[in-house]
Each structure stands twice: as structure tokens, then as C-alpha cells.
Amino acid sequence: MKQTEITLGDNERKAILNAFKSLLRAVKDRSKEDSSLIRKAFDLSLEAHKDERRKSGELYIWHPISVARICANEMNLDSTAIVCALLHDTVEDTYITLQDIEDSFGVKIRNIIDGLTKIPDVFDENASVQAENFRKMILTISNDFRVVLIKLADRLHNMRTLEAMESDKQLKIASETRFLYAPLAHRFGFYTIKSELEDLSMKYCERDVYLDIDKRLKSTQDVRARFIRRFIAPVKEELAAQGFQLEIKIRTKSISSIWRKMKNKDVPFEEVYDVFAIRIIVNSTPEKEKADCWKIYSVVTDFYQPSPERLRDWISTPRANGYESLQTTVMSPQGKWVEVQIRSKRMDEVAEKGIAAHYRYKEDKKDDSKFDRWISEIRDLLENSEANAIEFINEFKLNLFREEIYVFTPKGELRVLPVGATILDFAYDIHTAIGDRCIGAKVNNRLMPLSYELQNGDQLEIITSAKQKPNEEWLKFVVSARARQKIKASLNEERKSIAQDGKEILERKFKQFNLKMNAENITFLEKYFGIGSATELYYRIAKGKIDVNKIRELEDKNGFLVLPTKDFRPKKEVTTPDSKPLVDVKNDIIYIGEDFKGVDYQLAACCNPIPGDGVFGFITINQGIKIHRSNCPNALHLQSKFAYRCIKAVWKSEILQERLAAIRIVGIDQIGLVNRLTEIISKENKVDMKSIHFETNDGVFEGHIRVMVYDTEHLERLMGKFQEIEGVQRVTRWDLEDDFMD
């Protein structure tokens, strides 16, 4: 990533010093000691990185300075975080060691820098390096959450400067960002950062859609501005007359959020009604802010009719990350819905600055924060240290992006759980022992089973039994990470107990066959039986799934098990992440249409890539390599969690070959419509149609057509013809579902 032996010029040094002074001014509430420590960190970072540049050609020192400025300006973090941001890459990329950091800055800063330092690529063969680094970072949450916040700032700056990277690296980094870091920013309350991370990720993962929505937003900007001025004028005048001190902001919805709504609601850009929101921020004292927000709501709804279904009261019950706001959607005189957010200045700062502002105001809060409760849940999750990195991330993400419901204990205590939570989730939320012995519950005085899905406002009384214990089935109907972790922990304890019996059985057999009970022989048996761990080996022996008498068939030399090479060949797979692949994912490129190292590859059925699409290869477990579109519905999952199994792929341009593509058409049903479509396909464009399926409901039709085309240009021409047909409203490319991991 860097070039060495670059000297620092006078102009560059001057610009860097000016940037540092700007950084110091941004650090709030700093003492002289803080300023001195920040200067010391800057000097060390400047010296360590002086001969390094980034891919863009920019001096590398600009990166830690930029990360520190994000921490100061956009996150309101303290001086310790600024020091660590300036030093965050020194141990990983320069001669500086962790001991050097500790000697100069103390143990606390050393520990934060350690949490920010990536794990070496020793995991390349067996696990996702991204996943391992992410787990290492999350492990620090319970000790010092500044590690995660600095990492978010680091990722944000990397995304802002991603243009300099190669396209395949852009796709992998952007996918990982959208999958892991954007939800993390959301959970820590940094809505602005979360939206920017999502938008920048979309820019590289779905560039065409991103640019199209961006263009539409810019072209409608003046019209929106005029509409907003007319809309807020009477409200602003009335609120001023009533003596409110307030500020009105206009928030345009992020591009990624607009695209998400277009997909979820199945509507075009023009029909997304909440492209912008009006935010009214009142300057109130803590004891009056809730009442003031409701008074402002009353004024707004005096002028404009509200939608009863769109009222969100996050003042009475704040969200898990501390977010508070009163939100409603009202109808304007022009017949357009407008979202209005009402909040105090304190609430707005917490919403914009996340956790840092939350802890700044915490002393004003009488109740314990739900954000602190979430941190506690993360500690519970971290207790399960046996989970691999991918499993850990899956469990962790369960707690990131879920919507919430509110339920009550028999005594009226409010509990917040994720949407979809069951009685078991509630039981484990109360206490592990209650969850382990839960057999059901009275929900609103009615007896309900463990799998009952809770609804907002339910009141529960858990029923327990001393004879009850967790089983594998329970994992199917819990959604909270805490419940899943506790159930797995209980099952693991039982599994370990059974495995101990299996170990004793094996020890007796080893003694009978004059074999040594040592690590070498156990490892040999793991490979021989195709098992990943000694515990699993012992467990299967205890359950009778492995016949230990087969050990007699093996040879031994002085108590050590051996097997002739001709009989024992490791399974040859290019696809398993647990063995050395035949493919070099970092340097190899698949040219679609040519042979690739004798390894089979095929086009993925989930996205049907065709020439002109951006593509990548994914090494599957037992089906060779699958070629996916860069914007495939599964690309985010694959690129973020299994980037070490993704390989570059490009189309061989001189080969002209028809390939399958699917099209979705929605519109108003009319007589002769299908005939017109088939005429365009077969007669006018000479396209081979593989299948056509139409359904009509109350005069609206939806059709799916599969055709053979040469490339994206050919497909877009055909879709353009469909769009011209009277009654057709939308024509889009259609993605299928597929078991993409096989």
C-alpha cells in the first residue's frame, strides 16, 4: 500500500502542521497536559510515517491526522482517543512497538493501540482475516469502546479515499463496510457516519444505481427547496410567536436509504415520499424538553394533517442506542407526505454524535441507559470464546440492526427486545437460570408455549420447572444474541460432559492396543475421521458414531498411529476454506471463456451474470468456482465474510455467446400485452425466450421473462423496448435465489 524513501518537503510539512493546529482547535475541553500529549503523539506519528505514501500518492501522515479529525469533529471524542487515532497505524506499519507506546503514553493507550492493530495474515488459509480482525476489535468493547470508535473513523476515512484502490479491492472493502461497520455505527448512534458509510459502500457495490439516484436528487434540489420554504413558513412563524427558541434543519435522505425504500416498497424514485425530512430542534431545559416537543407537535398538526400510523414516540421510550426523537408524517397542501422530526438540542446532539454525547449527558439522566445495557449484552456474548470468527460475527450482528419491541414483567418493569423475540428470549433477558428452566409463560394471563412471538405491550409471567433444560430445538426460535449464546453455552457444557466419557472410552482402547494417548495420535484420528476438533471426536465416540475398533486396522510405530500414503489421501478440494486452495485469490484472474487451472467454474444462478456486468469468482465448498455479479444479492455476504475465497474475474471480450438473463415487468394489465411483449422479443429483436410467466391481481400485472442475450447492452436495449409499451410502469433486471455457498 505504501512506497518508501520519500522525503518530506517544506510545503508539505507546513500544510501538515496547519492541519495539526486545526485538529487541536477541534478537541473540546482539553487541558495543557492533553495538548502536550496530543503533540507528542503527532510528532511520533509524523516521524514514524515520514517516508510513506498511500496508494493515491498522498503522504501517509494525512491518514492518521484525518482519522483524528473525524474523532474530534464528527464524534466529539476525548483527548485519549485523539492520541490513539494519531498513533493507530504506527505499531502495525512502522518500527514502533507496543512497548514503545506503553513507555511513552502509558498502559491505557497501549491497550487501545493493541486493539486497533490488525492480526497478521496467518489466518489466510483457514479463516477470514477481516472476520478475525473484527472479532479482535469487538473484544475490546467491554473494556474500552474507544477502540471501536477510532476504527469506525479509520474505516470512514479509508472509504472516503477508496478511489485510489483497484476495483476488486474496492468491492471487498465496500462490502465489508456495509456488512459490518455501517451497522456498528448505527448501534453506536452515529447516524450521519452510518449513512455516509452505506452511501460510499453503495457507490462501489452498485455504482450505476448510486449515480442514477444522485443525479435525480441533484436535478430535483431546487424544487424541493421551494417546497420546503413554503411548508415551514407558517409553522416557524407560529412557534416563534409562542416563544420557542429553535432551529429548523432539512435532512435529505441518504442515497442508500432511498434505494432500500425503493426495493422494499417496490416503487420508483418518484414515489419515495420521504426523500427529505424537516427537523425542528428546540432549545429546552432537560425537565421541559419532552413537554416542549409535544407542544411543537401540536402546532405542526394544527397546520398539517398527520398520518396516525406514522407517529414514532422515541422520547418516552428511547431506542437502544440512546436515540430520542418525536417523529410524524404529515400531509402538505400539495398532496405530498412530509416527515417531521421534533427533538431538543440535547437529543439532536446525541443523535448526531452518538455515544460520546450520550456519556456527556449521562449525569443528567436518572435511569440507566439502554446503551449501557447493550454493552452488557456484548459482554455476555464475549463469554462464548469458543465460537469461530464467522459465527461470532453472525451472533454479533443479531444485536446490531434489529427493530425493537417493548414488553413488561408481571410487576410492570419495561423490557426491550428485538422484533421477533419469543418467550425464551424474554426468559433469558431476565436471568440465565430462568431461561434454562423455562417451560412456557402466561402472556396477558393466557398460557403460551416457548415459541410464542411477543408483541408490543405484552405482559409476561415466566413458568419454570426444575426438570427443564435447554435443547437444540430452542435455537430455532430465539432471535436475541444473549439467548442464543446462553443456550449454546449450556449445550456445550452438556456436550463436554459427554465428550469426557468418549475420551475415557478412547483411552481404554489405546491402552488395549498399546497406543500412546498423546496429541499426535489424536490429531491423526481427527484427520482420519474428518473431524475438526478433539472434543467433537470424543463426543462422536461416546455417541457411538465412530467405531473405535477401526483403530485396530491402522498401523502403529512405537505407539504412534501411521497409515500408508496410498491409502490416506487428504480430500482434494479447491473449495474448502480449511485447506490450502489450488487458487491464489490475491494474484489469479479468471478470464471467463478460458480454462482456469483445470478448475471448474460456472455462472451463478442467483444473479445470472452476462458480459458487461462487473463480476468476481467465489470458491465454493463442493461446486468449484461460481461467477457472481458485483451487485449480486449475495455479493455483500460473500465479499464481507469470505473475501479470502473471492477471486478476480473478467469477461473475455472476443467471445460472443448468448447467456441467460431474467427481466421483471410491472404495469397495468391490458388486452394483448403478452402478445406485444413476445413480438418484441422474438420478431423485432430476434431474442431467444426461455420462459415467460405473468400474474394479474386487481388489474395490476407482474411478469417474469427469461431470455438469452449477448451482454448488458443487448439486455438494456430489450428492456428499453419493453418500457415503451403502453401500461408498462417498471422494467427491472430480476435476480433469482440460489444456494450460493455450495
Q: Which long-range contacts (CB under 8 A, 24 or more apart) does 597-603 make?
A: 599/574, 599/624, 599/625, 600/624, 600/625, 601/625, 601/626, 601/627, 602/626, 602/627, 603/627, 603/659, 603/660
Looking up residue 355, the CATH number of its domain turns out to be 3.30.460.10
Average pLDDT on 487-516 reads: 85
| 40 and 87 share one domain | yes
* pLDDT for 412: 83
Domain boundary among 209, 227, 259: 209
**Residues 396 and 180: beta-carbon distance below 8 Å:** no
**Span 66-95, mean pLDDT?**
90
Q: Are residues 534 and 484 in the same domain?
A: no
Is the residue at 236 inside a domain?
Answer: yes
Specify whether 514 is located in the same domain as 422: no
Please state, in angstroms and rounded to a whole number, the distance separating the CA atoms of residues 735 and 519. Answer: 49
Q: Given pLDDT bands bounded at 50, 70 and 90, which one contains residue 619?
A: confident
Q: Which of 12, 34, 58, 93 is catalytic?
A: 93
- The pLDDT assigned to 572 comes to 39
114 catalytic, yes or no?
no
Say yes or no: 172 and 124 in one domain: yes
> The domain that contains 402 carries what CATH number?
3.10.20.30
**pLDDT surpasses 50 at 574:** no
Residue 92 known to be catalytic: yes
In a domain, 584, yes or no: no
130 and 95 in a common domain: yes
Q: Is residue 579 part of a domain?
A: no
Q: Do 226 and 193 sit in the same domain of this protein?
A: no
- Mean predicted lDDT score pLDDT of the chain: 81
Reported confidence tier of residue 567, pLDDT bands at 50, 70, 90: very low
Residue 739 in any domain: the answer is no
Residue-number span of the structural domain to which 549 is assigned: 489-562
Q: Which one of 608, 629, 651 terminates a domain?
A: 651
The whole-number pLDDT of residue 373 equals 61
- Spatial distance between the Cα atoms of 225 and 236, rounded to a whole number of angstroms: 16
Average pLDDT over residues 258-276: 83
| 640 and 598 in a common domain | yes
404 and 494 in one domain? no
Q: How many CA atoms lie within 13 A of 659 on its CB side?
A: 23
Report the CATH number at residue 159: 1.10.3210.10
Q: Within 13 A of 225's CA, how many CA atoms are on the CB side? A: 6
**Which one of 15-24, 352-361, 651-660 scores highest in mean pLDDT?**
15-24
Helix (H) or strand (E) holding 647: strand 646-651
Average pLDDT over residues 18-34: 87
Strands 246-252 and 276-282: antiparallel
Domain termination residue (choose one: 447, 473, 488) = 488
* Residue 688 confidence (pLDDT): 83
d(CA 44, CA 86): 9
pLDDT band at 739 (very low <50, low <70, confident <90, very high): very low
DSSP 6-61: -PPPHHHHHHHHHHHHHHHHHSTT--HHHHHHHHHHHHHHHHHTTT-B-TTS-BTT
Q: Is the pLDDT of residue 730 over 50?
A: yes
Q: Is residue 635 part of a domain?
A: yes
User: Poorest-confidence range of 82-96, 287-301, 521-535?
Assistant: 521-535
Active-site choice (43, 92, 507, 713)? 92
pLDDT one-digit tens code per residue, 120-168: 543 333 345 556 666 666 666 556 778 888 989 999 999 999 988 888 8
Clarify whether residues 354 and 227 are in a common domain: yes
> Which residues lie across from 667 on neighbouring strands?
701, 728
pTM: 0.69
Is residue 429 domain-resident? yes
Looking at the fold, whether 161 and 34 belong to one and the same domain comes out as: yes
On the question of pLDDT at 690 being above 70, the answer is: yes
As for how many domains the chain has, the answer is: 6
CATH number at residue 666: 3.30.70.260
- Residues 271, 304 share a domain: yes
Share of the chain above pLDDT 70, in %: 84
Residues 278 and 336 in one domain: yes
